[in-house]
Structure 1
Amino acid sequence: MNILNHFLRKIPIWLVYFVGLTPPLWLLYQGFTGGLGVEPIKALEHELGELGLQALILGLAVTPLRRFAGLNLMRFRRAIGVLTFYYIACHLLVWLVLDVQILAQIWADILKRPYITIGMVGFVLLAPLAVTSNNWSVRKLGARWRKLHKLVYPAAVLGAVHFVMLVKGWQVEPLIYLGVILGLLALRLTPRRTLARA
């Protein structure tokens, strides 16, 4: 694990951002060129939303991976968080601009469809985290910065619940996402002394 951590320390942060920025662009290209099937907008929406959930899970896994596996991804955590917001914002933009398009209908859907309401609340919780993911905010907010960034916990749960409610019937994949997120939160919220005895 020390060898892997040594290798990870050599990876520049800009490369993580560069690689992380490309999946939505690739998916958009596939949508325009017929690579996303007969309903490219719905497929694009789904793929971006799932990408956002996967990035959320990776961000939540950083601390448990360090505690239990010795894998240190801490220097990438901010980049993971910013990219998570980027993916979810792209997911939202596809729904707003390419799918619904009508402003009155957008507002009606947010109010009347619980899965959309829950998804929007999760996005709103993530927004201040993205805005404050910089050194200036860390210095300015001090101890409050850590408290603010704990909003990622309910946001992640809401994102998974949004996925569960979105699909028709009880499908396994959304439930796996929800279970993994709840499991990671349970690991993070377990007192350190209890973890040390386990």
Structure 2
Amino acid sequence: MRDWINTAARRVPTWPLYIVLTLPAVAWLYLGLTGGLGVEPIKALEQELGEFALKLLILGLCITPLRRFAGVNLLKFRRMLGLMAFAYVAMHLLVWLVLDVQILSQIWADVLKRPYITVGMAAFILMIPLAVTSNAWSIRRLGPAWRRLHKLTYLVCLLGALHFVLLAKGFQIEPLVYLAVVAILVSLRFLPTPRRRASAA
């Protein structure tokens, strides 16, 4: 099964996935314009874009544990998932800035006053250098520093999940599940691989 997945993954090009992963945003925008997102379409659009970005970040986090512990190699899709996650976070932020708040002074006040916005904005700012350097030229140019820089991905994912938890009104299970999943996936990075555990024993 593992070999079959690895063989199939090598044959799948990444560029069609950019198109496929853009379709949900197009669908939500259409629903928002046609009244399909309920009585508060702007809030609903914000939530859908943000939650989908978090899902993409989680999928990206799954790639390394799958390779280390299951031998499933999906590394070729990690850059695509990261860039699409950044695109959805940017759209999420743009909807909030342009359609929701609209007043420039209020935006800065909200960033300072509301913890969930502060955390979300911090995650977005940290994603910018990751997105800018997600190319072969940056990997060659930065060398070992590129790997150190992209370890920020773990912090971005934790901040994104925390943003979702803080955003939720009252006690809600779903945001906590996202946070727990992210925390588990990040912690797996610090576990030795089965081969290392066997040699240590």
TM-score by length of 2: 0.94
Deviation at 1:195, TM superposition (A): 6.0
Instruction: Look up the match of 2:3.
Output: 2
Does the Cα contact within 8 Å between 2:119 and 2:160 map onto a contact in 1?
Answer: yes
Instruction: Look up the match of 2:115.
Output: 114
C-alpha separation in 1, matches of 2:15 and 2:197: 35
Structure 1: where are the runs of 5+ without partners?
Answer: none
Instruction: Look up the match of 2:189.
Output: 188
Q: Taking structure 1 as reference, are residues 3 and 37 closer, same or farther at Cα in structure 2, changes over 3 Å only?
A: same
Query: How much is the aligned-residue C-alpha RMSD, in angstroms?
Result: 1.5
C-alpha separation in 2, matches of 1:173 and 1:11: 32
- The answer to whether 1:18 aligns with 2:47 is no
Alignment of 1:8-87 (within 5 A): 8-87=9-88
Does the Cα contact within 8 Å between 2:69 and 2:194 map onto a contact in 1?
Answer: no
Deviation at 1:193, TM superposition (A): 6.7
Instruction: Look up the match of 1:99.
Output: 100
C-alpha separation in 2, matches of 1:28 and 1:95: 14
Instruction: Look up the match of 1:151.
Output: 152
Give the secondary-structure state (helix, strand or coil) at the position aligned to 1:153: helix
C-alpha separation in 2, matches of 1:87 and 1:189: 28
Structure 2: where are the runs of 5+ without partners?
Answer: none
Q: Taking structure 1 as reference, are residues 195 and 183 closer, same or farther at Cα in structure 2, changes over 3 Å only?
A: farther
**Taking every aligned residue pair, what percent have the same amino acid on both sides?**
60
Does the Cα contact within 8 Å between 2:165 and 2:176 map onto a contact in 1?
Answer: yes
2:181 is aligned with what amino acid? V
Deviation at 1:68, TM superposition (A): 2.2
Q: How many residues align?
A: 198
Q: Which moved more, 1:184-193 or 1:21-30?
A: 184-193
Deviation at 1:23, TM superposition (A): 1.5
C-alpha separation in 1, matches of 2:91 and 2:33: 16
Q: Taking structure 1 as reference, are residues 20 and 196 closer, same or farther at Cα in structure 2, changes over 3 Å only?
A: farther
Instruction: Look up the match of 1:130.
Output: 131
